[in-house]
Amino acid sequence: MALPEYRLPETSRWDILWSGLRAYGLIVAAWTRSTLTYRASFVMMAFGNFAATGFDFLSILLMFSHIDALGGYSLAEVAFLYGTTGTAFGLADLFLGSMNGLGRRVRDGTLDTLLVRPVPVLVQVAADRFALRRLGRILQGLLVLGYALLLVDIDWTVVRVLMLPMMIVSGAAIFGAVFVAGGAFQFWAQDAAQVQHAFTYGGNTVLQYPPSVFGRELVRGVTFVVPLAFVNWIPALYVMGRELPLGLPAAVAFLPPVVALVCCAAAGLAWRAGLRAYRSTGS
């Protein structure tokens, strides 16, 4: 007897994207409710996230209690760099910060549970243990950015105003790509969440200081190898009317969206390769 032919309903790429985002929202909502169960702890953690990043800026303020300029940049200019990278990194960390936990799931075998569910693995890993407390980091970045905008001497034009949201969105996407690529790396090196930190938290710390502070090799590395310089250095220096690092032409300052797209595509490929290479644990 011939079985009736069964067809899956037609799904387009947009449907997949939409259902992925919907699933992300559902998982995030569940984790948020669970976090709010221990309210005292949540308040402490949210404050902690706010303060943790605040301490970074406090140490910069302490430095400036002894000096007027660091690497030739004033406090307002450093604060502008700090605020832009802090906000962009905070956004990426809010949405994708959980990628750190992938190695643990690979090690203990719980990744298998995610593989059999009808939701993209990337979505599940990204939403896993979603931490609302990370809003504290974004808030802190925005506050320093506001402080910088009040003090910094910028010759504002329409283009320069528009570059501000552009660099924060592109910057968040670039950091997001680093998070996803770092997650993909953990399919192979399961215990290496710290390597990811070097690029995410480390990258964020580098971008808080002006490029003139660092050696040329480091500046080249974060411009051409892991293009974090496009998060804020290059567009922010353009906005502040300064020379771009490495003698790059001013037009490069408009590239962050392109760089972000390329990074996200590369991270997507790395993720697929990692997922294919995954073998479950077992003895």
Partner 1 sequence: MRLYAVVTLGGFRRYATYRVATFAGVFTNTVFGFILAYAYTALWDERPRLGGYDLPQAMTYVWLGQALLAACALMGGGFEDELIERIRTGDIAVDLYRPADLQLWWLAGDLGRAAFQLLGRGVVPMAIGAFAFELALPGDPLMWLAFLGALLLGLVVSFAIRFLIALSAFWLMDGAGAAQLGMLAAMFFSGMLLPLNVFPGALGEVARALPWSSMLQIPADVLLGKHTGWDLAGVYAFQAGWAVALLGAGRVLQSVATRRVVVQGG
Question: Which residues of the chain form contacts with partner 1 (CB under 8 A)?
Answer: 38, 40-45, 47-49, 51-52, 55-56, 58-59, 62-63, 65-71, 189-195, 197-198, 202, 205-206, 209, 212-215, 218
Please, which residue, 69 or 115, has the CB nearer to partner 1? 69
Taking the complex as a whole, the smallest distance from the CB of residue 160 to partner 1 amounts, in Å, to 26
Please, which residue, 8 or 62, has the CB nearer to partner 1? 62
DSSP category for residue 225: I
What is the Cα gyration radius of the chain?
21
Name the amino acid, one letter, at 221. G
Identify whether the C-beta of residue 16 lies closer than 8 Å to the C-beta of residue 22.
no
- The Cα-based distances of 232 to 161, 162, 170, 171, 193 in angstroms read 14, 14, 9, 7, 25
Please, which residue, 159 or 277, has the CB nearer to partner 1? 277
Taking the complex as a whole, the smallest distance from the CB of residue 172 to partner 1 amounts, in Å, to 21
- Selection from 142, 144, 116 nearest residue 59 by Cα: 144
Please, which residue, 48 or 268, has the CB nearer to partner 1? 48
Taking the complex as a whole, the smallest distance from the CB of residue 38 to partner 1 amounts, in Å, to 4
Structure tokens at 75: 């406090």
Taking the complex as a whole, the smallest distance from the CB of residue 63 to partner 1 amounts, in Å, to 5
Please, which residue, 24 or 179, has the CB nearer to partner 1? 179
Taking the complex as a whole, the smallest distance from the CB of residue 136 to partner 1 amounts, in Å, to 11
Identify whether the C-beta of residue 255 lies closer than 8 Å to the C-beta of residue 106.
no
Identify whether the C-beta of residue 235 lies closer than 8 Å to the C-beta of residue 150.
no
Taking the complex as a whole, the smallest distance from the CB of residue 191 to partner 1 amounts, in Å, to 4
Please, which residue, 163 or 178, has the CB nearer to partner 1? 178
- Selection from 165, 163, 147 nearest residue 155 by Cα: 163
- Selection from 172, 238, 200, 210 nearest residue 79 by Cα: 210
